[in-house]
């Protein structure tokens, strides 16, 4: 009996129907099948985000068919057989069936084909080499994809080392798919091949590495996969100097227990040593976004030191100086590094207090300082800094007159 997906909503939506109708008008029935993640995730009752389609049509034919149907076309990977259709705002990545002609571990020269089995043989894992017609009928050319998807087995199509030599990014993809879909022990042959070829990760573009790493860390529980990376030596290649595996594991546990949002950037920070300079250099090597780089560096700042027994006044001062996002990140890292059984309520309370407090605006301006008799120039900034330190030390005193009187006393005591 043939496996079937049924007719899930993503398959029968008006957007999907428009794309398939356009392709079949050019290539006939069964010229296009859903492939990869949407098929796999529907089989295992997981959420479907991306809709990928494989087709016997060439990229030129796909482009002509979509254009004739009034759909927008983006040549997202034309030389490798991929175009993206935009149907009522939803993207569909459409790729011509293909086989590898030449590969070097980073890029491939491909030739188009009309052989579905040949296309399947060049895919990475059996659970990704799955296709489905628009009526829901599933095609499993390797003969193992459906069973492996349901069992959570991440198994390379064919010989693992050959698959990796075609694209060394598959080393990281092996661990990423273990994090998202794996169950139980890893495939021994696949893990051994990843360990043997781990140094080839260095040949990949930094952007590809960081994108795959952050996807891995975004899984609900990436701890077993990251442990495997460490044991196989892959983690040391990707993150030289990553020394806080224990802190990372506790952070993931805290996020789960406390219902915090899954946070791949903070999880990456947790893996790194408490060294802002080293973290900044690693972020540059990985070509992380400026936002992720700045956040990770701020999370690893040594001051102000956060302790679980801080008073509300000390917490407010730390939030004011660090900013709420950095304070929250540093509190979570501190929590993850602590003896949690004793201090969980304190750390949770610190974060709650910080999130419930809005830092007031400093009540004194540069013009106020000038009016108090301080001449314009560097001295104004010096006075402002001294006044702000006083105001923070007095727990952001909400008394404008006290601030004005303090300004007067500071101004009178300075030699101009």
pLDDT tens figures, 116-170? 999 999 999 999 999 999 999 999 999 999 999 999 999 999 999 999 999 999 9
Does this model's pTM top 0.85? yes
**Contacts of 131 by beta carbon, 8 Å cutoff, 6+ apart:** 33, 34, 35, 39, 54, 116, 120, 138, 139, 141
Q: Which of 375, 369, 378 is closest to 409 using CA atoms?
A: 369
Does the pLDDT at position 277 exceed 70? yes
Q: Which of 177-191, 348-362, 368-382 has the lowest mean pLDDT?
A: 368-382
pLDDT band per the 50, 70, 90 thresholds, residue 172: very high
Cα separation, 293 vs 272, whole angstroms: 13
CATH 2.40.10.220 fits 157-238, yes or no: no
Q: What confidence score (pLDDT) does residue 342 get?
A: 57
Read off φ and ψ for residue 140, nearest 5 degrees: -125, 80
Please report which confidence band the pLDDT of residue 235 belongs to, taking 50, 70 and 90 as the band edges: very high
Q: Is 303 within 8 Å of 222 (Cβ atoms)?
A: no
Superfamily of domain covering 1-151: Beta Polymerase, domain 2 (3.30.460.10)
**Mean pLDDT value across the chain:** 92
Q: Outline which parts of the chain fall under CATH 3.30.460.10.
A: 1-151
Within the chain, all domains assigned CATH 1.10.3090.10 are found at 157-238
Give residue 343's pLDDT.
Answer: 65
Average pLDDT over residues 389-415: 83
> Under DSSP, is residue 96 helix (H, G, I), strand (E, B) or coil?
strand
Query: How far apart are the C-alpha atoms of 290 and 196, rounded to whole Å?
Result: 33
């Amino acid at each position: 009996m043939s496996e079937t997906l049924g007719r899930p909503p993503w398959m029968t939506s008006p957007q999907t129907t428009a794309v398939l109708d356009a392709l079949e008008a050019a290539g006939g029935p069964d010229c296009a099948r859903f492939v990869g993640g949407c098929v796999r995730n529907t089989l295992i009752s997981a959420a479907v985000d991306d809709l990928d389609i494989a087709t016997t049509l060439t990229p030129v034919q796909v482009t002509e068919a979509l254009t004739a149907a009034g759909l927008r076309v983006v040549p997202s990977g034309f030389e490798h057989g991929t175009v993206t259709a935009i149907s009522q705002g939803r993207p569909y990545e459409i790729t011509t069936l293909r086989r590898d002609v030449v590969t070097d571990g980073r890029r491939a020269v491909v030739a188009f084909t009309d052989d579905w089995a040949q296309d399947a043989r060049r895919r990475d894992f059996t659970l990704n080499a799955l296709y489905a017609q628009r009526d829901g009928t599933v095609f499993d050319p390797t003969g193992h994809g459906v069973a492996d998807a349901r069992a959570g087995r991440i198994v390379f199509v064919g010989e693992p080392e050959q698959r990796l030599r075609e694209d060394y990014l598959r080393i990281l993809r092996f661990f990423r798919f273990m994090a998202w879909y794996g169950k139980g022990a890893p495939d021994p042959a696949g893990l051994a091949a990843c360990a043997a070829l781990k140094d080839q990760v260095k040949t990949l573009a930094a952007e590809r590495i960081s994108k795959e790493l952050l996807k891995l860390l975004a899984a609900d529980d990436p701890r077993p996969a990251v442990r495997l990376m460490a044991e196989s030596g892959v983690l040391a290649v990707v993150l030289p100097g990553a020394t806080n595996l224990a802190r990372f594991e506790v952070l993931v546990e805290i996020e789960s227990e406390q219902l915090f949002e899954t946070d791949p950037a903070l999880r990456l920070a947790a893996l790194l040593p408490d060294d802002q300079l080293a973290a900044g250099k690693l972020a540059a090597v990985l070509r992380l976004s400026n936002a992720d780089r700045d956040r990770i560096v701020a999370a690893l700042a040594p001051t102000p030191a956060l302790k679980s027994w801080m008073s509300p006044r000390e917490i407010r001062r730390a939030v004011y100086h660090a900013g709420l996002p950095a304070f929250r990140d540093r509190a979570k890292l501190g929590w993850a590094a602590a003896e949690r059984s004793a201090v969980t309520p304190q750390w949770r309370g610190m974060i709650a207090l910080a999130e419930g407090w809005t830092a007031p605006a400093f009540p004194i301006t540069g013009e106020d300082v000038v009016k108090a008799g301080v001449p314009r120039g560097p001295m104004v900034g010096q006075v402002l800094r001294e006044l702000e330190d006083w105001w923070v030390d007095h727990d952001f005193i909400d008394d404008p007159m006290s601030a004005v009187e303090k300004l007067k006393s500071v101004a009178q005591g300075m030699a101009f």
